[in-house]
Amino acid sequence: MDASQPVIHEERQPSPWWVWLIVAVVWLSVVGTAWGIWQEWSKTPAAERSAMLWIGPCIGLAVLALIHVVLGGSRVAVTDVEVQFYLGRWPRPVRIAISEIRACRPVTYRPIAEFGGWGIRRGRNKTWAYTSSGNRGLLLYLQGERRALLGSDNPETLASILSRLGIDALEPGTDVAAPME
């Protein structure tokens, strides 16, 4: 995040329960592999021991790190000039300039039916979704008839923050029919 842009509002969505289930399964696989290697240790020639000892746990830890980076929840930060969406621990956010946002509206959506799941996805209605869990978010109406959906546990708060920055905050159930240039 650029230090010259103070954050006005920030919110996080934690990882869903199934991510922690995946982490637990991978961790148990790593422990099981290490145990199996330890059991075979005495039967293996000394030249092969060092490679055998490190390969399984290293692969398991790499998978755990990847899961943490990609599926580690999400974060939305609002500054005076942009809205930033971070997925997991990925260091580069998706940035949407405040000047590009015409209006916003809190919504309840169906992640699997409308976008094929969570993450950074494009829906059938050409709306980009930036979500990590749940079924609530803030729909942003952007310049050029584009739309973006930011996953949020409290989209009303995000709409209120953007309203203070001069963005039209629409009531749930309303839509932007014509461009507001």
181 pLDDT band, cuts 50/70/90, is: very low
DSSP for 19-59 reads: HHHHHHHHHHHHHHHHHHHHHHGGGS-HHHHHHHHHHHHHH
Q: Is the pLDDT of residue 122 over 70?
A: yes
**Could you give the CA distance from residue 34 to residue 26 in angstroms, rounded to a whole number?**
12
| pLDDT at site 1 | 45
- pLDDT tens digits along 15-28: 777 777 877 787 78
Of 49 and 60, the structure prediction assigns the larger pLDDT to 60
| pLDDT at site 46 | 62
| pLDDT at site 179 | 38
> Three-state DSSP class for 45?
coil
- pLDDT tens digits along 62-102: 777 777 666 677 889 999 999 999 887 777 889 999 999 99
Query: pTM to 2 decimals?
Result: 0.70
Q: Which of 149, 158, 95 is nearest to 119 (CA)?
A: 149
Report residue 2 as tokens: 């650029």
Positive or negative, the CA dihedral 11, 17, 20, 22 is negative
Distance from CA of residue 176 to its chain's centroid? 26
| pLDDT at site 97 | 94
Q: How many CB atoms lie within 10 A of CB 46?
A: 6
- pLDDT tens digits along 1-58: 455 678 787 888 777 777 778 777 877 877 777 777 667 666 766 656 666 566 767 7
**Could you give the CA distance from residue 175 to residue 80 in angstroms, rounded to a whole number?**
25
- Measured at the CA of 137, the angle between CA 134 and CA 142, to 5 degrees, comes to 145
